[in-house]
Amino acid sequence: MDTFDTVVVGAGVAGLTAARLLSLAGRRVVVLEARDRIGGRLWTDRSAGFCVDLGASWIHGIEGNPLTDLAAAFGMDTVEFTVGAFQPDSRPIANYDPAFRPLDPAAARRWADDVHAADAELERIVAASSAGQSYADVAAQAVAAQGWDTDRGQRVWEFYRHRTEEQCGAHISDVAAHGLDEDAIVGDEVIFPGGYDQLAVNLAGGLDIRLDQLVRTVTWSEAGVRVETDAAAFEARNVVITVPLGVLKAGAIEFVPALPDVVAGPIERLGMGVFVKVFVQFPHRFWPDDVYAIRQQGAAGDTWHSWYDVSAVSGQPMLLTFAGGPRGREVEAMSDEQVVASVVSSLRQIYGDSVDEPVGSWVTGWGSDPLSRGSYSYVAVGATHEDHDAMATPVGGAVHLAGEATWSTDPATVNGALLSGHRAAERVLGRPIPLATLPKRQGGSVLGVES
């Protein structure tokens, strides 16, 4: 049986960060990864000759974000592509009404002004909301307070519904009233034309990583831990668990003894969203020039309501659309061919015969993946933001949880995962570790981009 100072479960960004920092501190560390690849929910497909990020895609706000300096240290090229917090304006958006007619600039401005007016009221209502209220509850109050007619109110209500689907991967009634409180982005957002998985590849450099190691049981005490996979067993003083929240909620790893309520409670209360990304490559561009996004209002946008022009990343005419929450689960139950046909059909309602058959497509399925069981975490009704951090409470001086779901100020982000791995490593060592050491090799040189 192999013995280590620390076993890290999961080779995503949180696990690789913790393992790298501990290794640089002189600890003997092994990383156990159930997949046949590293990266977790960072996953770049290069099969078409360009990069398609099927998992995380963005640095959400580059100012003050540790990922910004880290990506620069690794030599990762970036392209500015600011999404914002699902905004109604501020970028060139082609808006279409429920009858597939383009909104003229004045109409688009009136609609965006309606959203901003409701948002101002919503902020006050959320601040005064009681425990147990959902985002649907407070959004409905904010819309009703405007005194609009049914159609006008419906346009803003559906915007709120789509906002929670995109930001949380959940239905508006499943998200806590305070569920989007942390949804603030500072500075531009960027994506990686060379693939986000460069981050994982560089973090993994020099580490002892064992692939195809599905962890089944973690037995722990104050004396140490025993981690058992389908193929082997590992003993260590500490274990850092970085599997997605969905895996923990499903009880896929047995903890002996069971985790205490200070950790188990947040695992139960927090939600794990489902967010399907669909990339569709076309033979030529049919949507307006200089358009950042396409938005469809009304019932026709129930599932496919927003398309983003990601041609700058691929160098090919390409749109990215999403389906989240219950709609995402419905989409995941369809074949890829059915999904793409549905997306194309929706676009043809707007642009008619100018929409040719796609020449390439990619459909994600994180919700149906047994090694993730969802896309990212969110604050469900009955949970609080504090539950994210509470989930990472050290157990018995031996068990540490990390990952995006354990970071309260930036859950559902790669930087949240990175910072949680840093925190776990500091807790294992019992002392601060400068995050700036992360891109260093054991000998002190800086890692470089690999592919």
Residue 85, pLDDT score: 58
Same domain assignment for residues 25 and 159: no
Distances (CA, A) of 15 to 197, 226, 336, 344: 14, 18, 31, 38
Same domain assignment for residues 158 and 205: no
Residue 80, pLDDT score: 81
Residue 305 counted as an annotated binding residue: no
Share of the chain above pLDDT 90, in %: 84
Q: Among 119, 149, 168, which residue terminates a domain?
A: 168
How many Cβ atoms from other residues are within 10 Å of residue 181's Cβ?
Answer: 15
pLDDT tens per residue, range 33-71? 999 999 999 999 999 999 999 999 878 777 788 988 899
Q: What CATH number is given to the structural domain containing 410?
A: 3.50.50.60
How confident is residue 339, by pLDDT bands cut at 50, 70 and 90? very high
Same domain assignment for residues 164 and 200: no
Q: In this structure, are strands 275-281 and 318-324 parallel, antiparallel, or unpaired?
A: antiparallel
Residue 451, pLDDT score: 41
- The structure's pTM equals 0.94
Residue 314, pLDDT score: 83
Starting from the edge strand earliest in sequence, which strands make up the sheet with 318-324, in order? 93-96, 293-296, 306-309, 318-324, 275-281, 360-363
Torsion of CA 184, 186, 188, 193, to 10 degrees: -70
Same domain assignment for residues 264 and 150: no
DSSP H or E run through 183:
none
Residue 233 counted as an annotated binding residue: no
Tell me which amino acid residue 308 is: Y
Residue 30 counted as an annotated binding residue: no
Tell me which amino acid residue 92 is: P
Residue 92, pLDDT score: 85
How confident is residue 404, by pLDDT bands cut at 50, 70 and 90? very high
Same domain assignment for residues 247 and 391: yes
Instruction: Identify whether 57 is part of a domain.
Output: no
Q: In this structure, are strands 399-401 and 79-80 parallel, antiparallel, or unpaired?
A: unpaired
Please state the domain count of the chain: 2
DSSP-assigned letters across all residues of 347-377: HHHHHGGG-PPPSEEEE--TTT-TTTSSSEE
Same domain assignment for residues 255 and 381: yes
Instruction: Identify whether 213 is part of a domain.
Output: yes
Q: Please state the length of the chain.
A: 451
Sign, CA dihedral 405-410-416-420, equals negative
Residue 335, pLDDT score: 98
Tokens of 26: 């002189």
Domain span at residue 396?
3-41+196-270+372-437
* Residue 203 scores a pLDDT above 80: yes
Rounded to whole angstroms, how far apart are CA atoms 312 and 197?
A: 18
Task: Tell me the mean pLDDT in the region 346-369.
Answer: 97
Rounded to whole angstroms, how far apart are CA atoms 282 and 339?
A: 15
Instruction: Identify whether 207 is part of a domain.
Output: yes
How confident is residue 450, by pLDDT bands cut at 50, 70 and 90? very low
Same domain assignment for residues 159 and 203: no
Same domain assignment for residues 127 and 262: no
The answer to which of 40-54, 300-314, 380-394 has the lowest mean pLDDT is 300-314
* Residue 442 scores a pLDDT above 90: no
Tokens of 107: 């109409």
Q: In this structure, are strands 399-401 and 233-241 parallel, antiparallel, or unpaired?
A: parallel
Task: Tell me the mean pLDDT in the region 15-19.
Answer: 98
pLDDT tens per residue, range 98-146? 999 999 999 999 999 999 999 999 999 999 999 899 999 999 999 999 9
Task: Tell me the mean pLDDT in the region 18-32.
Answer: 97
Tokens of 276: 């399907």
Rounded to whole angstroms, how far apart are CA atoms 387 and 439?
A: 30
How confident is residue 449, by pLDDT bands cut at 50, 70 and 90? very low
Instruction: Identify whether 132 is part of a domain.
Output: yes
Same domain assignment for residues 161 and 29: no
Residue 357, judged by CB atoms within 10 A of its CB (0-12, 13-18, 19+), counts as exposed
Rounded to whole angstroms, how far apart are CA atoms 132 and 110?
A: 33
Instruction: Identify whether 240 is part of a domain.
Output: yes
Residue 215 counted as an annotated binding residue: yes
Same domain assignment for residues 160 and 11: no
Same domain assignment for residues 18 and 149: no
The answer to which of 44-53, 86-95, 361-370 has the lowest mean pLDDT is 86-95
Residue 49, pLDDT score: 93
Residue 48 counted as an annotated binding residue: no
- The C-alpha R_g of the chain, in whole angstroms, comes to 22
The answer to which of 39-43, 51-55, 82-86, 443-447 has the lowest mean pLDDT is 443-447
Q: Among 130, 149, 168, which residue terminates a domain?
A: 168
Task: Tell me the mean pLDDT in the region 393-413.
Answer: 96
Instruction: Identify whether 301 is part of a domain.
Output: no
Instruction: Identify whether 322 is part of a domain.
Output: no
Task: Tell me the mean pLDDT in the region 287-298.
Answer: 92
Instruction: Identify whether 203 is part of a domain.
Output: yes
* 8 Å CB contact between 34 and 212: yes
Q: Among 168, 185, 212, which residue terminates a domain?
A: 168
* 8 Å CB contact between 199 and 71: yes
- Which of 425, 382, 378 lies closest to 401, judged by CA? 425
Residue 443, pLDDT score: 55
* Residue 382 scores a pLDDT above 50: yes
- Which of 40, 45, 97, 41 lies closest to 281, judged by CA? 45
Same domain assignment for residues 379 and 266: yes
